[in-house]
A and B are shown apart, each in its own frame.
Chain A
Amino acid sequence: MECKTTAVVSGDVNDSIDMPDLPRRQFDALIIGAGGGGLRAALQLANADASVAVVSKVFPTRSHTVAAQGGMNAALANVLPDNWHWHMFDTVKGSDYLGDQDAIEYMCRAAPTAVYELEHFGVPFSRLDNGSIYQRPFGGQSQNFGGDQAARTCAAADRTGHAILHSLYQQNIRAKTHFFDEYFAVDLLKDDQGYILGALAFNIHNGEPVIIEAKTTLLATGGAGQLFRTTTNALINTGDGMGMALRAGVPLQDMEFFQFHPTGIAGRGMLITEGARGEGGYLVNADGERLMERYAPKAKDLASRDVVSRAIATEVREGRGCGPNKDHVMLKLDHLGEDVIQKRLPGIRQTCITFVGIDPAVAPVPIFPTAHYTMGGIPTNRDGQVVMPVKDTPEEPVPGLYAAGECACVSVHGANRLGGNSLLDILVFGRAAANHIIDYLSENRYHRPIDSDSLESAVNRMQRWDRKGDGEGESVSGLRDELKMVMENHCSVFRNDEVLAEGVAKVEQIVERFKHARIDDHSAVFNTARVEALELENLLGVALATIHSARARQESRGAHSRTDYTERDDINWMRHSLYSLDTGLDYKPVRTKPISVDSFPPKARVY
């Protein structure tokens, strides 16, 4: 597709610098990732007449945003009374008080506009009789600061992510955004002053590298669910942007907080949206008991995700699991009737029939908590700028580098994300980052020369896999499967020091062995083996950050439940973890001060 403004084929700016002779392209803004976060940012930039390039390792509509089912939160009050301040309270409480309250206020205030914009872009939201957008109840939502259940999640049946991703891609077609489809971004490029100046990528079709120079680079590469063996995430969710950030010297924040979704199809991992419980579904154990009544007397099945996942894991541990191995519980939906299920949950009905041969309109579905969402990520402020500690400043922006979406940590989700808040996060902060980029571009009008060291190490990293070994070294797929098993066994719903310490040792050992890993496919044409090797390298960085941060945090908060430290410890641990490859762990305070309202002080979390 033609790009809107000319992309200068380079050489004319940095001729004096000695660098490998690689093709170059120049843009104002580079966006790595074409999920909802990346595409929302791209659209904002294209509409502002910036030259913008979007790089994606899969065709944009294959991005994982397409899989989001249940919907997106915004206090529209179309169904029940609501306002952004209640939404903010729920989000802060849901985060177990680890979320940054300025960012949360910003997001909840921006939510209605974000939804209306999407609707104007063409998203086919489900509708109410009066013609307004349909909203359903989701977990952790309340009216009036912890009162009755709210209905805040805007939905397009149970295909909300598909509807949003396609509409955003379509609008980018209209705006003539420049896409690099099926290009793999290898590493960030920078200069010696720490400015991020684009990335090295290669065209997966023919293996040819290209330097994409840009005044700003936005990472929107999504989550890292492939860390775990059983996951709701796509095979492409390998934490690439997080890996790139780590290698560029940026720490990852709060990686110990990984969300296990209560209702993955047991043993298979396909997600059944929380919207299924929002529509009236509930969980039962082997005794036929409605188990959530015991764990969350008020909110029951719509308590926060961490609470419901722990409840299910506890039932199974205590022998009340269902099935021959007593290893799951059941989600009951058949009482809703076929009409409701077909109208509101057609996609999950199809998935259940396809993968386990059960029609939820007829029989209950076996479910178990499944790795789902990366709460941690690349630390940013609410303008999407990547920030890191420099001397005494805990949050100094990295010039030219932005992150948004699941790969970022603003942090609006803190220790536990509420369902429906991620689609909101990617859209609100995708747009916020783009707006800040527009300002940055007006002050930084020229491309800066890229440092040759940074380019060289990126090129080496890519070329490592071209070397024909002597048949020694372990296979990439074997190491990957082992890593996923280790993470599942050592960093799951319940954790303790012993299990984590063993996990740390095992992950470090896999990292060592990876240095000698090999691939046998050296073809230039659509070499998926090479892509998978580069992905595993990224996953390994993310695994180190996750398991080290988990072992260090001696408390239970949100999704991080320690059986050896069962209480939340606000005095010592109400702070964000930062893990970097060179210096290990560091911490920074939570931003507890909102923009305009009073802070919500930490309280016991009861649902």
Chain B
Amino acid sequence: MKFRIYRYNPDADKKPYMQDFELADPEPGMMLLAALLKIKDTIDESLSFRRSCGEGVCGSDGMNINGINGLACVTPLASLKQPIEIRPLPGLPVVRDLIVDMDQFWQNYRDVKPYLIVNDPMPEVELPQTPQQREQLDGLYECILCACCSTQCPSFWWNPDKYLGPAALLQASRFIEDSRDQATEERLAALEGPFKLFRCHSIMNCVQVCPKGLNPTRAINNIKKMMVKRSL
């Protein structure tokens, strides 16, 4: 099994380069993350990437795999054309090898006030929510903040500090849609202007790459609709 992997260590390398690796007989059903771990353990310890859960729930190991962003731990080797070309998530500064600096991504996440805001006094028990109201959050709350979507989005590449990007906007939607949240007006107002929300041109790259099958474009369009209604 052949791999071409992006390498860059600012400590040692003047510029990035691609390095070839080969793994003899990978186990059946092997995921890309397992292959990377094996390369690191047996061929080159200095190969650097993030990982934690190994099962697609923590969002650590987003990377660009044969041109498409995805999580290494849930990408079967068998599904990939060789040599498997692996690069860091595009559009963010590279720290080392497959590790990118996510500061801007987190900044955008924090910008949408991603927390429940309730101004009324809290009851002694749970805030009521019907199963139908709760269903509105399906497809929104499951996001694992892997950044696969935002770093595949051209609008985010051009203006990462102005356009919030699909991941942050999906979270904005998650709280706007929550029947318990009391800050909808404030949240919508904060998304006004040509950039934060409206830079999304519905190119749908984000939808194609989301490893959790979420649909940021739909969430963004829902917010847009609410903005239009609000301005009438």
Chain A residues engaging chain B, CB cutoff 8 angstroms: 1, 58-59, 61-64, 66-67, 115-116, 119-122, 124-133, 156, 159, 162-163, 166-167, 170-171, 173-174, 205, 234-236, 270, 347, 350-351, 354-357, 475, 477-478, 481, 519-521, 523-529
Chain B residue contacts of A170, Cβ below 8 A: 114-116
A-contacting residues, B139-171, CB 8 Å: 141-142, 144-145
CB pair A356 B54 closer than 8 Å: no
Q: Which of B55, B118, B126, B175 contacts A355 (CB 8 A)?
A: B55
State whether the Cβ of B11 lies closer than 8 Å to any Cβ in chain A.
yes
The answer to whether B1 has its CB under 8 Å from any CB of chain A is no
Q: How far in angstroms is the closest Cβ of chain B from A350? A: 8
- Check B45 against A529 for contact (C-beta < 8 Å): yes
Chain A residues, Cβ within 8 Å of B95: 205, 525-526
Q: Return the 8 tightest CB-CB contacts between A and B, nearest first.
A: A122-B116, A131-B128, A170-B115, A477-B41, A521-B46, A119-B126, A62-B58, A526-B96
Contact A162 B134 (CB under 8 A): no
- Judge if B102 is at the interface, Cβ distance under 8 Å: yes
Number of A-B residue pairs, CB cutoff 8 Å, is 150
Closest to B175 in A: A122
Let me know if B122 is at the binding interface, CB within 8 A: yes
Chain B neighbourhood of A528, CB < 8 A: 40, 48-49
B-chain residues with CB within 8 Å of residue A1 when the two chains form the complex: 110
**Given A64-B52, A66-B57, A528-B48: A127 in contact with B129 (beta carbons within 8 A):** yes
Q: B126 near A66 (CB under 8 angstroms)?
A: no
Query: Could you tell me the distance between the alpha carbons of A124 and B137 in the complex, rounded to whole angstroms?
Result: 8
Residue contacts A-B, CB under 8 angstroms, 24 given: A61-B59, A63-B58, A64-B52, A66-B144, A116-B124, A119-B127, A120-B126, A122-B175, A122-B180, A124-B137, A126-B131, A126-B134, A127-B134, A130-B128, A132-B125, A156-B141, A205-B95, A235-B51, A354-B76, A356-B29, A477-B40, A521-B45, A523-B9, A524-B11
- Asked whether A162 lies within 8 Å of B144 as measured between CB atoms, the reply is yes
Chain B, 36-77, CB within 8 A of any chain A CB:
40-42, 45-46, 48-60, 74, 76
B83 within 8 A of A: no
Q: Chain B contacts of A235 at CB under 8 A?
A: 51-54
Task: Using A120-B116, A120-B118, A122-B180 as known contacts, list a sample of 15 further A-B pairs with CB atoms less than 8 Å apart, ordered by residue number in A.
Answer: A1-B110, A61-B145, A63-B58, A64-B58, A121-B116, A127-B130, A131-B129, A159-B57, A234-B54, A347-B57, A356-B29, A357-B29, A477-B41, A526-B97, A528-B49
Please, how many angstroms separate the alpha-carbon atoms of A119 and B54 in the complex?
A: 28
A62 touches B60 (CB 8 A): yes
The answer, yes or no, to whether B220 is at the interface (CB within 8 Å) is: no
Chain A residues with Cβ below 8 Å from B46 are: 520-521, 523, 529
Given A67-B57, A119-B126, A205-B95; A523-B45 close (CB under 8 Å)? no
Q: Which of B45, B60, B134 is within 8 Å of A58, CB to CB?
A: B60
Chain B residues 153 to 196 lying within 8 A of chain A, measured CB to CB, are 175, 178, 180
For A357, what are the chain B residues with a Cβ–Cβ distance below 8 Å? 29
The one of A59, A129, A205, A356 in contact with B131, judged by C-beta atoms closer than 8 angstroms, is A129
User: In the complex, are the beta carbons of B144 and A523 less than 8 A apart?
Assistant: no
CB distance from B92 to the nearest CB of A (A): 14
Q: Is B232 part of the contact surface with A, judged by Cβ < 8 Å?
A: no
Does B228 interact with chain A (Cβ within 8 Å)? Answer: no
Q: Is B57 a contact of A58 with CB atoms below 8 Å?
A: no
> Is B209 part of the contact surface with A, judged by Cβ < 8 Å?
no
Cross-chain contact A354 with B56 (CB below 8 angstroms)? yes
Q: Which residues of B contact A124 (CB under 8 A)?
A: 134, 137, 141, 178
Residues of B within 8 A of A475 (CB): 41, 45
Closest chain B residue to A527 by CB distance?
B48
Among residues of A, the one whose C-beta sits closest to the C-beta of B74 is: A354
- A293 vs chain B, min Cβ distance (A): 31
Q: How far is the CA of A127 from the CA of B180 in the complex (A)?
A: 13
Q: Which one of B45, B58, B130 contacts A131 once the chains associate, using CB atoms below 8 Å?
A: B130
Please name all residues of chain A whose beta carbon is closer than 8 Å to the beta carbon of B56 when the two chains form the complex.
350-351, 354
CB distance from A334 to the nearest CB of B (A): 21
Q: Report how far A105 CA is from B144 CA in the complex, Å.
A: 35
- In the complex, what residues of B have CB within 8 A of residue A59's CB? 60, 102, 106
| CB under 8 Å from chain A, chain B span 78-118 | 95-97, 99, 102, 106, 110, 113-116, 118
Give chain B residues whose Cβ lies under 8 Å from the Cβ of A526. 48, 95-97, 99
A residues less than 8 Å from B128 (CB atoms): 130-132
Is B55 in contact with A67, judged by CB distance below 8 angstroms? yes
Say yes or no for B26: interface residue by CB 8 A criterion: no
Residues from chain A with a CB closer than 8 A to the CB of B115 are: 121-122, 167, 170-171, 173-174
Given the complex of chains A and B, what is the CA–CA distance between A1 and B137 in angstroms? 28
How far, in angstroms, from A64 to B56 measured CA to CA in the complex? 12
Which B residue's beta carbon lies closest to that of A113?
B124
CA distance A42 to B54 in the complex (A): 27
Give Cα A421–Cα B195 distance, bound, in whole angstroms: 46
A116 x B125 contact (CB < 8 A): yes
Looking at B9, B53, B122, B133, which has the most chain A CB atoms within 10 Å of its CB?
B53
Please name all residues of chain B whose beta carbon is closer than 8 Å to the beta carbon of A162 when the two chains form the complex: 57, 142, 144
Residue with the highest number of chain A CB atoms closer than 10 Å, among B12, B96, B102: B96
Cβ contact within 8 Å between B53 and A128 = no
- Separation of A451 and B7 alpha carbons in the complex (Å): 42
Set B9, B45, B53, B74: member contacting A67, Cβ < 8 A: B53
Is the CB–CB distance between A236 and B52 below 8 Å? yes
- CA of A127 to CA of B133, assembled, Å: 9
Contacts of A477 in B (CB 8 A): 40-42, 45
| B16: interface (CB < 8 Å) | no
**List of A residues within 8 angstroms of B55 by Cβ:** 67, 270, 351, 355
Tell me if B45 and A116 are in contact (CB < 8 A): no
Which single residue of chain A is at the shortest CB-CB distance from B128?
A131
When distances are taken between beta carbons in the complex, the residues of chain A under 8 Å from B54 are: 234-235
Whether A520 contacts B129 in the complex (CB less than 8 A), given A120-B118, A167-B116, comes out as: no
CA distance in complex: A132, B180 (Å): 13
| Smallest beta-carbon distance A169→chain B, Å | 9
Q: A162-B142, A170-B114 are in contact. Are A234 and B52 (CB under 8 A)?
A: yes
Q: Please indicate the chain A residues that have their CB under 8 angstroms from the CB of B74 in the complex.
A: 354
> Which residue of chain B is the closest to A65 with respect to CB atoms?
B58
Q: Which of B42, B76, B142, B180 lies in contact with A159, CB distance below 8 A? A: B142
